[in-house]
């Protein structure tokens, strides 16, 4: 059965124009534009803690960015805003949207109820197609669990999971992430 209402397919140029005018961020893929919902205070605190831990440890040639920085996967067309990004060396900009980069070294996603399956599945597969990407960090919103996907020299992706009381090394930038500190940042302070 076909839909009575045809789906509108947007061009990347339509997406770029919308992003310039809109106060909210959107994701673009295959002609679809989807508004990105804001996260919870806990989500934001976990992302900020990961950014802080990375910033304190990465080499000087690298910079850590917040979710304000867009990333475009040139190989698949995905345009999105990870919770954090690390770029080592000079940023390479999207030729059609120069406020986005195409060469992250590390990407970070903090999951949520609405994004968990996508972050661990389809979105991760898009990220793996970024030529210069070396690691993806996925932080669970459900439990103290951090998963780090790392690309080996031969291009093979391997994952490692760590839980409460553990640390995990993000090899491409030589940083250690402490799981307990990430989740402690999300906890409501005592009154």
Asked whether 104 and 132 are in contact (CB, 8 A), the reply is: yes
- Domains: count for the chain: 1
Report the CATH number that the domain containing residue 150 is assigned in CATH.
3.90.1570.10
Any domain includes 142: yes
Residue 38 has a pLDDT of 77
Residues in the chain: 191
Ordered mean pLDDT values, 10 residues apiece, the chain (191 residues): 63 96 94 88 96 97 97 98 98 97 98 94 98 98 97 96 98 97 91 74
| HSE-up of residue 8 (Cα within 13 Å, Cβ side) | 7
Any domain includes 143: yes
- Distance from the Cα of residue 166 to its chain's centroid: 22
Residue 37 has a pLDDT of 79
Q: Which domain holds residue 69?
A: 39-186
Any domain includes 5: no
Sequence-ordered list of residues with C-beta below 8 angstroms from that of 173, at least 6 positions apart, any chain? 54, 57, 58, 59, 62, 86, 88, 105, 106, 135
Residue 1 has a pLDDT of 44
Residue 9 has a pLDDT of 87
Any domain includes 24: no
Residue 4 has a pLDDT of 55
First-to-last CA distance in the chain?
Answer: 57
Backbone angles phi, psi at 177, to 5 degrees: -110, 125
Any domain includes 6: no
The DSSP secondary structure of 78-100, one letter per residue, reads: -EE--SEEEEESS--EETTEEEE
Residue 111 has a pLDDT of 96
Angle at 132 between CA 129 and CA 135, to 5 degrees: 80
Q: Is 8 exposed, middle or buried (0-12, 13-18, 19+ CB in 10 A)?
A: exposed
Kindly state the helix (H) or strand (E) to which residue 38 belongs, with its residue range.
Answer: none
Any domain includes 9: no
Any domain includes 25: no
Angle at 185 between CA 113 and CA 159, to 5 degrees: 60
Q: What letter does residue 147 receive in the DSSP assignment?
A: E
C-alpha dist (Å) from residue 14 to 5, 19, 75: 20, 9, 19
Any domain includes 105: yes
Q: How many CB atoms lie within 10 A of CB 47?
A: 23
pTM for this structure? 0.94
């Amino acid at each position: 059965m076909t839909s009575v209402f045809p789906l509108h397919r947007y061009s990347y140029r339509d997406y770029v124009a919308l992003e310039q005018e809109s106060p909210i961020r959107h994701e673009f893929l295959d002609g679809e534009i989807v508004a990105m919902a804001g996260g919870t205070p806990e989500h934001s605190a976990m992302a900020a803690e990961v950014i802080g831990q990375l910033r304190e440890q990465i080499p000087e040639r690298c910079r850590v960015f917040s979710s304000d920085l867009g990333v475009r996967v040139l190989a698949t067309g995905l345009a999105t805003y990870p919770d954090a990004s690390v770029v080592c060396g000079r940023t390479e900009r999207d030729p059609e949207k120069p406020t986005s980069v195409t060469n992250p070294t590390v990407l970070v996603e903090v999951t949520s109820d609405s994004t968990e399956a996508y972050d661990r599945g389809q979105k991760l597969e898009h990220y793996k197609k970024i030529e210069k990407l070396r690691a993806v960090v996925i932080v669970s919103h459900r439990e103290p669990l951090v998963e780090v996907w790392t690309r080996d020299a031969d291009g093979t992706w391997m994952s490692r999971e760590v839980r409460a009381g553990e640390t995990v090394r993000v090899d491409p930038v030589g940083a250690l992430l402490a799981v307990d500190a990430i989740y402690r940042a999300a906890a409501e302070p005592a009154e």
